């Protein structure tokens, strides 16, 4: 039986940690592994290929790649290739990327809703083994389809998930996507509002399957010293507010806190800056947007997201030994 849990394999993990976490999740029967791609550290596709070959039953998704720097036709054939390695286990997770990194590489985010609509349309048609012609505002395709050189062409069952944050992208995702990969460091109040927005979009959708709702949750477990677990997620929250301040408007940050944090650190934030800024982040905010403490406490916090409408909570394991957090939650979830 599949355990309705996933793991977000963040860019901060070593390859050995990534492999160890994937092994635990696959053997335990977790629903999914999600490979992050955001900062210029690693690309998601290389790690997904490694995991597709290494694992046997767990689904593997991009969590998420952006629709700014990858052509949708190349994206579609990339994921078709991944499906050859792990048939029926690959998920295309795509987002609009984030600032300032998008502008720093010359691909500033403009008209994200229109870009996402065209990107999904092209990928879905290619996955259905259809010929695509589109003269859109963001992408131009002229009678393209998958090539027949290596194998018989056929449709591929690759679900498309989005990584929406704001209400407009949430509604669009409800209309067009097979599932969503909701962001981390959000309280359950945000999750409930997001589910409502997704449902509004689904009401105008032509898709017949239920929308799958997953969400990343930053987790840290320490059954001996629960305060250490709290410090681990607090440090990550502090860094994230410094580097991606847009998250503050969604997670209930008090006015002015992000500005005070940004006065301490630039981009990217250094470890010593994070330690200096951590005392500014209130513990009640940490409690609202993460899951930490003992194994039992963390599992209870994760269940709050399920109650808010999430089918698959996806843990982002933090702390000194991330794989131990995954093992602990696997044991209580089995």
pLDDT score, position 226: 96
| Average pLDDT of the chain to the nearest whole number | 93
pLDDT score, position 150: 67
pLDDT digits (tens, 9 = 90+) for 156-175: 999 999 999 999 999 999 99
pLDDT above 70: residue 266: no
| Full-model pTM | 0.94
Q: 284-321 burial by CB neighbour count: b if 16+ within 10 A, else e? A: ebbbbbbbbbbbebbbebbebbbebbbbbbbbbbbbee
pLDDT score, position 267: 66
pLDDT class of 250 with cuts at 50, 70, 90 = confident
pLDDT digits (tens, 9 = 90+) for 113-159: 999 999 999 999 999 999 999 999 999 999 999 987 766 788 999 99
Nearest CA among 22, 26, 24 for reference residue 35: 22
pLDDT above 80: residue 269: no
pLDDT score, position 103: 78
pLDDT class of 106 with cuts at 50, 70, 90 = confident
Domains and CATH numbers, the chain: 3-229+289-333 (3.20.20.30)
Contacts of 25 by beta carbon, 8 Å cutoff, 6+ apart: 5, 6, 7, 33, 55, 58, 326, 330
Scanning the chain, the segments in alpha helix (DSSP H) are: 15-28, 44-54, 72-85, 101-104, 112-127, 167-176, 188-202, 226-243, 248-251, 257-264, 271-277, 283-289, 295-307, 322-333
pLDDT digits (tens, 9 = 90+) for 22-58: 999 999 999 999 999 977 889 999 999 999 999 999 9
pLDDT above 80: residue 304: yes
pLDDT digits (tens, 9 = 90+) for 116-125: 999 999 999 9
Dihedral of alpha carbons 130, 133, 136, 141, sign: positive
pLDDT digits (tens, 9 = 90+) for 185-199: 999 999 999 999 999
pLDDT score, position 153: 81
């Amino acid at each position: 039986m599949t355990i309705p849990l996933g793991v977000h394999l963040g860019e901060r993990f070593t390859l050995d940690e990534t492999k160890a976490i994937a092994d635990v999740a696959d053997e335990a029967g977790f629903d999914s592994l999600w490979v992050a791609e955001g900062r210029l550290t690693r690309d998601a596709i290389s790690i997904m290929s490694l995991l597709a070959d290494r694992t046997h039953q767990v689904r593997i998704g991009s969590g998420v790649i952006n629709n700014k720097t990858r052509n949708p036709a190349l994206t579609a054939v990339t994921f078709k290739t991944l499906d050859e390695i792990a048939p029926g286990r690959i998920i295309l997770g795509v987002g609009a990327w984030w600032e300032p990194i998008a502008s720093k590489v010359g691909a500033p985010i403009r008209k994200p809703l229109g870009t996402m609509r065209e990107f999904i349309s092209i990928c879905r048609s290619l996955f259905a083994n259809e010929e695509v012609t589109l003269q859109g505002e963001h992408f131009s395709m002229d009678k393209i389809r998958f090539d027949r050189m290596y194998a018989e062409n056929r449709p591929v069952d690759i679900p498309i998930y989005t990584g929406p944050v704001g209400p407009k992208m949430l509604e669009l995702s409800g209309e067009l996507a097979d599932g969503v990969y909701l962001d981390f460091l959000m309280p359950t109040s945000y999750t409930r509002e997001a589910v409502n927005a997704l449902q509004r979009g689904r009401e105008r959708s032509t898709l017949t399957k239920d929308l799958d709702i997953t969400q990343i949750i930053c987790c840290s477990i320490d059954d001996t010293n629960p305060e250490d677990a709290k410090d681990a997620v607090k440090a990550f929250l502090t860094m994230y507010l410094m580097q991606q301040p847009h998250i503050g408007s969604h997670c209930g940050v008090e006015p002015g806190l992000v500005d005070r944090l940004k006065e301490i650190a630039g981009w990217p934030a250094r470890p010593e800056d994070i330690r200096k800024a951590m005392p500014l982040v209130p513990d009640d905010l940490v409690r609202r947007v993460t899951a930490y403490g003992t194994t039992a406490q963390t599992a209870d916090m994760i269940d709050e997201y399920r109650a808010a409408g999430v089918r698959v909570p996806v843990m982002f394991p933090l702390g000194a030994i991330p794989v131990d957090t995954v093992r602990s939650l696997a044991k209580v979830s089995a």
